Amino acid sequence: MTALVQELLNTFDRLTETERLELTLEILKRVVNLDFPPLSNEDLVLNAEELFLELDKQEATHE
């Protein structure tokens, strides 16, 4: 991840919920027509693993 992308994500995290929703909608409008290559099985597994690890982390902090 580049420094610019990390900076954008950090800024996103500091937004209010309303601002985050507004920004998310605008980004989705812009990427909906992009031609993404299909994900490989490896990509899908890695993404799933990251999601499950994040969910485990969130559950542990709420216990």
**Could you read off the pLDDT of 1-59 as tens digits, one per residue?**
899 999 999 999 999 999 999 999 999 999 988 888 888 999 999 999 999 999 999 99
Quote the pLDDT of residue 39. Answer: 86
Quote the pLDDT of residue 19. Answer: 97
Whole domain around residue 33: which residue ranges? 3-61
Quote the pLDDT of residue 32. Answer: 87
Q: Nearest 5°: CA angle at 25, between 45 and 52? A: 25
Indicate yes or no: pTM above 0.75: no
What is the distance between the terminal CA atoms of the chain, rounded to a whole angstrom? Answer: 31
Structural domain tally of the chain? 1
| Residue 23 CB burial class (10 angstroms; 0-12, 13-18, ≥19) | middle
Provide the 8-state DSSP code for 32: T
